[in-house]
């Protein structure tokens, strides 16, 4: 039997062989200590670079806090009259003063000075836990450059670094405890002096060391530790290299920064405000990331473990928070547990993106099951395993894998349904297909940013696929009764987090309503549409006469300004003819339009060309096509040609650019015509947007019934047409929906 194998059953080595075991353990311990020391040094470098940036942010916050707030900290015991008389208007100058400086102020004694300083420092410590450093790629300066360089060392080591540090810590703790006990077994004299109990402990410790070293070698731990130290000891990057890498991988940089700085988001928000009993079950769930190629953020790890612990759930995170990565982490965990077959169902527009993400974020095989060769691909997946990625339209044609003549198999270990709100209508063919597959699979994960977009009943439909027993508990009255009642009713099957709660480093989102007056030609076209009762024509009347369009002129100005600054622009409209008009106005150099009829491969190609274009570029998108499943974070300017009937359409479109990984502020310009359908639409939708926020985002109390969450397109159209016909005193013949062409 080879050395180190079968440690429990083979004779425990004594003398020379024991010394060899101890020596191997010492070498492994040395590797472990080296990794821990190198990692600690790298982390200290980040903290050193971070300290002045945090100090500046804290000072800015202290500047805005009145000095009178120091009383709150001392429960009213502090006398501030002398400080205020001396010109101390905010907490900042108190915090920055020394005890000696404060005591020089007339009327400030030793006790007052000490109390004031202690209170200011207490406020500053609290602020340190809430402020977040944002790295501005457009305005690098020496302090942020030093931080980026320090972070790059850790980021460059990759997700394997955390595994190496964990393995090093575990090995070092066990070896450090066993080595002193085992060493007497290396010599007869020392064994003789150890006494009976000491000899027994020494032999046991040697056996445990031999097993520990053998296990570490079988798992490749020595190589993992060696590589980690090599990565951590690499020469520092140049300023330019570090900034370029940050621009490409900002998500990884911010993830490491949040971990080191301890600036994690609010725990309750990061855990979706789940009840304690559900959160505790999730915390107890492990997550094996052996097959992952990405480091998960804390809230992402929680989301993956939620899906594993609860088995059949809806992950409703806001766009940009990495639902795809969380789903891949779930699949990777199950793969590490020995499962081989998984199925992802998604819209055709994002099939390519899913395939790419699986291959880049994990070691798993991605098997596209789509197009003419879908049945052959499906057969290959059954035979070889991996993650099959198919579309809603193809799913219904896939046979039950358990009944296949060749390579029959159990149901997939997990079914992931992306954009799950596509199956809100239980009578649709794609919904029936999803229902059939959810019945086959033990674990099911629905992904959607807006599962409760319109009514609580639609959310009930989604839950009915997953946990039918839960449906009777999800009543519309729960929402009216208050957020806590509602959360209790949906918590076993629903988790949602928002960007502002968990992405504290996300750059600013600047939203500007660009109001324009309709010109004479615009107004004539608008009056005609109102008289005809054509709601869709009313919405795009401002673009009928391109040469005289006020909206189009403003759009040109915004694009020209972006071009001067080298910024990429995405232009969204609901209407293809509006996008055609914009394209004609801007010239053929613009990309797109990315519209519903464009094949999935071409959509991704347009996005790739837009992303790869150096400097300024413009991409035209039909909002229903560009707002779903595509990553447009290369853009830092978003232009909405008209307001949307559904608030979530705009939100989804903007979130395509303003999402995790974005490194610049995002400007959102909404083009609006005064005294028109735009103004009426915004007024009507204010309450609808508030209700959507209440139920789908934070579940806050809403002063309305659940049915009020839905205001149908037809209802809005009729109301606006009637109001505009009355305002303009034109005759109307009812509402014509028109088309989007």
Q: pTM score, two decimals?
A: 0.75
- When pLDDT is averaged across residues 287-299 and rounded to a whole number, the result is 89
- When pLDDT is averaged across residues 708-723 and rounded to a whole number, the result is 69
Query: What HEC string does 644-656 produce?
Result: CCCHHHHHHHHHH
Out of 156-165, 300-309, 489-498, 529-538, least confident range:
489-498
Out of 455-464, 570-579, 613-622, least confident range:
455-464
How confident is the model at residue 192, as a pLDDT? 63
Q: Hey, where are the domains in the chain?
A: 16-49+140-243, 54-128, 267-501, 508-728
Higher pLDDT, 338 or 159: 338
How confident is the model at residue 48, as a pLDDT? 96
Q: What is the mean pLDDT of the chain?
A: 85
pLDDT of 734 > 60? The answer is: no
Q: Where are the alpha helices (DSSP H) in 81-238?
A: 81-85, 91-96, 99-103, 110-128, 142-157, 160-182, 188-218, 221-232
* Sheet-wide strand order for 444-447: 366-369, 386-391, 341-346, 414-417, 444-447, 312-315, 494-495
- Tokens coding 663: 């490194």
How confident is the model at residue 364, as a pLDDT? 96
How confident is the model at residue 441, as a pLDDT? 94
pLDDT of 588 > 60? The answer is: yes
Superfamily of domain 54-128: 5' to 3' exonuclease, C-terminal subdomain (1.10.150.20)
pLDDT of 401 > 70? The answer is: yes
pLDDT band at 698 (very low <50, low <70, confident <90, very high): very low
DSSP string, 547-600: GG-HHHHHHHHHHHHHHHTT-EEEEEES-HHHHHHHHHHH-TTSEEEE-TTS-H
Closest CA to 321 of 659, 689, 666, 714: 659
Beta bridge partners of 571: 620, 639
pLDDT band at 695 (very low <50, low <70, confident <90, very high): very low
Q: Where are the alpha helices (DSSP H) in 666-735?
A: 677-692, 713-728
How confident is the model at residue 102, as a pLDDT? 92
User: Which fold does the domain 508-728 belong to in CATH?
Assistant: Rossmann fold (3.40.50)
Report the percent of the chain where pLDDT is more than 90: 47
CB under 8 Å to 674, separation ≥6 — which residues?
A: 515, 516, 517, 518
- CB atoms near residue 577 (< 10 Å): 14
Is the separation of the CB atoms in 507 and 664 below 8 Å? yes
Same fold, 267-501 and 508-728: yes
How confident is the model at residue 737, as a pLDDT? 44
pLDDT of 706 > 90? The answer is: no
CATH tag, 267-501 = 3.40.50.10810
Instruction: Note the pLDDT tens digit of each residue in 439-494.
Output: 999 999 999 876 453 457 778 889 999 999 988 877 655 555 544 556 667 889 99
CB under 8 Å to 19, separation ≥6 — which residues?
A: 186, 187
């Amino acid at each position: 039997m080879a050395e180190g194998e079968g440690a429990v059953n083979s004779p425990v080595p004594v003398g020379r062989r024991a010394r060899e075991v101890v020596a191997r353990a010492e070498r492994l311990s040395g590797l472990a200590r080296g990794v821990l020391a190198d990692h600690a040094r790298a982390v200290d470098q980040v903290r050193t670079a971070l300290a002045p940036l945090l100090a500046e942010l804290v000072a800015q916050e202290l500047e805005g806090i009145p000095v009178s707030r120091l009383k709150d900290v001392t429960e009213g015991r502090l006398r501030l009259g002398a400080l205020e008389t001396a010109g101390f208007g905010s907490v900042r100058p108190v915090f920055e003063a020394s005890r000696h400086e404060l005591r020089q102020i007339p009327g400030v004694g030793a006790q007052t000075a000490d109390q004031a300083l202690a209170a200011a420092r207490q406020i500053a410590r609290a602020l340190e836990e809430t402020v977040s450093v944002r790295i501005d790629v457009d305005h690098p300066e020496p302090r942020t450059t030093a931080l980026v360089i320090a972070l790059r060392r850790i980021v460059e080591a990759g997700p394997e670094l955390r595994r190496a540090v964990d393995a090093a810590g575990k090995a070092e703790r066990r070896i450090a405890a066993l080595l002193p006990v085992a060493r007497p077994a290396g010599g007869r004299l020392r064994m003789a002096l150890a006494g009976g109990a000491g000899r027994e402990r020494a032999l046991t410790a040697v056996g445990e060391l031999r097993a520990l070293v053998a296990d570490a070698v079988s798992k490749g731990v020595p190589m993992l530790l060696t590589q980690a130290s090599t990565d951590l000891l690499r020469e520092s990057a140049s300023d330019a290299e570090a900034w370029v890498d940050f621009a490409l991988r900002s998500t990884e940089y911010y993830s490491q920064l949040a971990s080191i700085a301890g600036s994690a988001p609010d725990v309750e928000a990061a855990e979706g405000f789940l009840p304690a009993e559900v959160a505790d079950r999730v915390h107890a769930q492990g997550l094996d990331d052996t097959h992952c190629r990405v480091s998960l953020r804390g809230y992402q790890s929680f989301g993956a473990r939620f899906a594993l612990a609860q088995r059949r759930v809806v992950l409703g995170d806001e766009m940009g928070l990495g639902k795809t990565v969380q789903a891949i982490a779930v699949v990777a965990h199950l793969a590490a547990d020995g499962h081989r077959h998984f199925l992802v169902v998604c819209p055709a527009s994002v099939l390519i993106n899913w395939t790419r993400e699986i291959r880049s974020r994990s070691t798993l095989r991605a098997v596209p099951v789509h197009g003419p060769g879908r049945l052959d691909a499906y057969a290959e997946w059954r035979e070889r395993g991996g993650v099959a990625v198919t579309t809603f339209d193809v799913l219904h044609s896939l046979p039950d894998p358990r009944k296949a003549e060749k390579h029959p198999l159990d149901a997939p270990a997990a079914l992931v349904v992306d954009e799950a709100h596509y199956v809100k209508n239980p009578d649709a063919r794609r919904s029936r297909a999803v229902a059939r597959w959810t019945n086959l699979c033990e674990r099911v994960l629905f992904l959607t940013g807006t599962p409760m977009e319109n009514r609580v009943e639609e959310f009930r439909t989604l839950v009915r696929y997953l946990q039918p027993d839960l449906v009777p508990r999800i009543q519309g009255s729960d929402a009216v009764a208050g957020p806590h009642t509602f959360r209790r009713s949906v918590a076993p099957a629903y988790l949602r987090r928002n960007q502002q709660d968990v992405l504290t480093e996300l750059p600013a989102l600047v939203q500007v309503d660009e109001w324009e007056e309709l010109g004479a030609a615009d107004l004539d076209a608008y009056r005609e549409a109102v008289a005809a009762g054509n709601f869709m024509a009313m919405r795009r009347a401002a673009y009928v006469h391109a040469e005289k369009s006020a909206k189009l002129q403003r759009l040109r100005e915004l694009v020209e300004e972006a071009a001067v600054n080298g910024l990429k622009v995405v232009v969204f409209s609901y209407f293809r003819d509006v996008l055609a008009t914009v394209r004609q106005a801007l010239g053929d150099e613009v990309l797109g339009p990315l519209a519903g009829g464009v094949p999935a491969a071409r959509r991704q190609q347009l996005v790739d060309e837009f992303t790869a274009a150096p400097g300024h570029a413009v991409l035209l998108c039909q909002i229903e096509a560009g707002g779903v499943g595509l990553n447009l974070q290369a853009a830092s300017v978003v232009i909405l040609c008209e307001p949307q009937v559904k608030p979530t359409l705009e939100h989804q479109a903007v979130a395509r650019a303003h999402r995790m990984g974005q490194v610049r502020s995002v400007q959102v310009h909404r083009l609006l015509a005064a005294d028109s359908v735009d103004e009426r639409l915004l007024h009507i939708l204010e309450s609808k947007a508030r209700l959507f926020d209440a139920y789908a985002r934070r579940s806050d109390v809403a002063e309305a019934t659940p049915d009020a969450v839905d205001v149908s397109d037809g209802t809005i159209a009729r109301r606006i047409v009637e109001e505009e016909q009355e305002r303009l005193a034109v005759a109307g013949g009812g509402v014509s929906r028109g088309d989007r062409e």
